[in-house]
């Protein structure tokens, strides 16, 4: 929907004919053409020009978009790689049956959301998409395959996959590997090109180790050997959930401290800096703000907690659930702060939201704190103008069910004009360097700025100011000359 520079692929290029197929050393398939499947396979195709990489999806619109001028996901640098590979050794298709039949190495990268119904609703992973894929692989396979879990899955899912694939006919054998993905949106291309590590879990059997080596060989094309780590399947599955849980925990930890800072004279940015300079702690993921969003942190922590409960560890489950609770508390605090600063009423006031994506450099709005915050503003009968460089289409979809006064405006200056307050909800770079003096002049006074990401240079800002950094509240009034 966003990328404009790539020539669309001619319809006849897919499916490649059999002659085309034989030209390649290996034929790799990925089922699921989403935020992970698309970029990950584009990177493999780019690094392995002698391999043919096919990506399939049940959603025809997604596949059409991957084959069009406008890619379905915005990710810096992705357009360049797609331009280099698409139609040469990277193909996007809806023909799942043909693709499974033709390929020997199959990545599964379908979504694994939280269940919204039945047993475990709101916590357990909804594995229906993953299971359907396993059954499709069984049904359409005419030869042995290596099946690789790329999706984030609960520990022991590979065992269930093996059971589903077990009734294979004749000599057909399946080897199931775990190879979780650690890319972060907005930096996906760099993360894929220079990963901290590649994790591969397998069974410790002759066939398991052989399959593992096949996958090691693919990554070794560009990833240094010492960064490719191999474990047993269950450690690999669990490590992915735990990595996300640890990252989210750091965000909740610093956010909990931001609440304490707001009650004292401490500044959370200074505390984060001082704490993060301890090399045992490190400086990353200590940026206080309105909390984490994105499709994975919350779901993966809840899945981890659900697993703990399943295995009779309620104390461990409660520990991890508190990370999500703290995240919700932070967003509630942000809204409460807006209300109390603006004289306890937002009815009829115009609030401008800067940023709707769950983080900078992506158009993705899944679980974005902006969804919750905007809904709350609308519930208070505020008029909301939303600005974002890449996420306005998704924002409109997220809010489609609400009857409210919403305007979408990409230009931040136009969006802020005539508003009573600005709420920064995404840490896009453009919001750091705006001319706030100019913006202030165009706003209704007293004009407020609620910096939900703590990114604006407060000294240059002349609006009433609130952020997780309390020192700024003390210099609240704008200069009268502004
Ligand atoms: P996504 O929703 O963007 O993409 C999943 C795709 O799978 C969809 O296009 C859907 O139509 C397709 N699909 C579902 N069932 C299918 C089937 N039976 N056959 C063919 N296609 C099917 O999801 P995503 O963000 O790419 O995440 C995929 C997995 O990777 C999840 O488990 C997620 O936790 C994990 N992960 C995501 C990220 C991220 O940054 N988004 C990073 C690391 C890991
Ligand atoms: C995260 C992990 O970083 C990836 O390693 C993982 O592969 C991925 O989840 C996944 O499994 O989906 P992502 O959600 O794309 O990646 O982005 P992050 O950079 O981790 O940010 C997540 C959220 O935390 C964002 O809303 C961000 O604004 C917030 N955050 C991050 C903070 O509030 N403070 C920080 O210091 C860091």
Q: Which strand (E) or helix (H) includes residue 203?
A: none
Query: Any long-range contacts for 274-279 (C-beta under 8 Å, 24+ apart)?
Result: none
For the CA of 132, the nearest atom of ligand 1: 18
**What global pTM score does this model have?**
0.94
Span from the CA of 247 to the centroid of ligand 2 (angstroms): 7
In the residue annotation, 296 being an active-site residue is answered as: yes
* CB-defined site of ligand 1, < 6 Å: 31-37, 56-59, 62, 96, 109-112, 129, 132-133, 151-152, 181, 183, 185, 295-296
Give the 3-state DSSP-derived string for 355-372, with helices as H, strands as E and coil as C.
CCCCCCCCCCCCCCHHHH
Q: What are the structure tokens assigned to 11, written together?
A: 């319809």
Span from the CA of 395 to the centroid of ligand 2 (angstroms): 19
Span from the CA of 292 to the centroid of ligand 2 (angstroms): 7
Rounded Cα gap, residues 40 and 33, in angstroms: 10
Residue 452 CB–ligand 2 contact under 6 Å:
no
Residue 293 CB–ligand 2 contact under 6 Å:
yes
Per-residue model confidence as pLDDT tens for the chain (482 residues)? 344 445 565 543 455 555 566 689 999 999 999 999 999 999 999 999 999 999 999 999 999 999 999 999 999 999 999 999 999 999 999 999 999 999 999 999 999 999 999 999 999 999 999 999 999 999 999 999 999 999 999 888 999 999 999 988 788 999 999 999 999 999 999 999 999 999 999 999 999 999 999 999 999 999 999 999 999 999 999 999 999 999 999 999 999 999 999 999 899 999 999 999 999 999 999 999 999 999 999 999 999 999 999 999 999 999 999 999 999 999 999 999 999 999 999 999 999 999 999 999 999 999 999 999 999 999 999 999 999 999 999 999 999 999 879 999 999 999 999 999 999 999 999 999 999 989 999 999 999 999 999 999 876 665 555 555 544 443 333 322 22
CA distances to 350, 359, 441 from 482, rounded to whole Å, are 20, 31, 7
Rounded Cα gap, residues 24 and 246, in angstroms: 40
For the CA of 129, the nearest atom of ligand 1: 15
Q: What are the structure tokens assigned to 49, written together?
A: 């020009």
């Amino acid at each position: 929907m966003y990328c404009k520079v790539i020539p669309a692929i001619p319809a006849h290029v897919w499916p490649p004919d059999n002659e085309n197929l034989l030209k390649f050393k290996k034929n790799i398939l990925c089922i699921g053409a989403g935020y992970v499947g698309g970029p990950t396979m584009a990177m493999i195709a780019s690094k392995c020009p002698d391999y043919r990489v096919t990506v399939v999806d049940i959603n025809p619109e997604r596949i059409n978009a991957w084959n069009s001028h406008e890619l379905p996901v915005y990710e810096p640098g992705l357009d360049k790689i797609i331009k280099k590979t698409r139609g040469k050794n990277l193909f996007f298709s809806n023909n799942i049956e043909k693709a499974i039949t033709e390929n020997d190495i199959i990545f599964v990268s379908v979504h694994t959301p939280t269940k919204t119904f039945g047993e475990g609703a709101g916590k357990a992973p909804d594995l229906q998409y993953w299971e359907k894929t396993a059954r499709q692989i069984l049904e359409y396979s005419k030869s042995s395959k290596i099946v690789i879990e790329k999706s984030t899955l609960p520990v022991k899912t590979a065992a269930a996959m093996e059971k589903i694939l077990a009734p294979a006919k004749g000599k057909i054998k399946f080897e199931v590997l775990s190879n979780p993905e650690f890319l972060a949106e907005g930096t996906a291309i760099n993360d894929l090109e220079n990963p901290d590590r590649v994790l591969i879990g397998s069974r410790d059997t002759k066939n398991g180790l052989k399959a593992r080596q096949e996958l090691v060989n693919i990554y070794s094309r560009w990833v240094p050997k010492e960064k490719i780590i191999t474990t047993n399947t269950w450690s690999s599955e669990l490590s992915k959930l735990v990595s996300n849980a640890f990252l989210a925990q750091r965000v909740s930890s610093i956010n909990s401290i931001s609440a304490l800072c707001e009650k004292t004279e401490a500044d959370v940015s200074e505390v984060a800096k001082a704490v993060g300079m301890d090399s045992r702690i490190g400086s990353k993921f200590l940026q206080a703000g309105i909390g984490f969003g994105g499709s994975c942190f919350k779901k993966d922590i809840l899945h981890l907690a659900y697993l703990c409960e399943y295995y009779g560890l309620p104390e461990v489950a409660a520990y991890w659930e508190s990370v999500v609770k703290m995240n919700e508390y932070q967003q509630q605090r942000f809204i409460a702060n807006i209300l109390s600063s603006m004289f306890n009423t937002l009815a009829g006031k115009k609030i401008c939201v800067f940023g709707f994506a769950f983080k900078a450099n992506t158009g993705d709005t899944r679980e974005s704190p902006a969804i919750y915050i905007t809904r709350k503003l609308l519930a208070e009968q505020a008029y909301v103008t939303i600005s974002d460089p890449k996420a306005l289409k998704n924002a409109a979809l997220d809010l489609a069910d609400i009857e409210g006064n919403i305007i979408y405006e990409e230009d931040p200056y136009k969006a802020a004009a005539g508003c009573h307050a600005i709420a920064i909800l995404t840490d896009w770079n453009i919001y750091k360097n705006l001319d706030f003096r100019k913006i202030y002049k165009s706003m209704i006074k007293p004009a407020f700025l609620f910096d939900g990401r703590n990114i604006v240079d407060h000294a240059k800002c002349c609006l009433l100011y609130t952020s997780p950094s309390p020192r700024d509240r003390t210099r609240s009034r704008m200069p009268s000359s502004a």
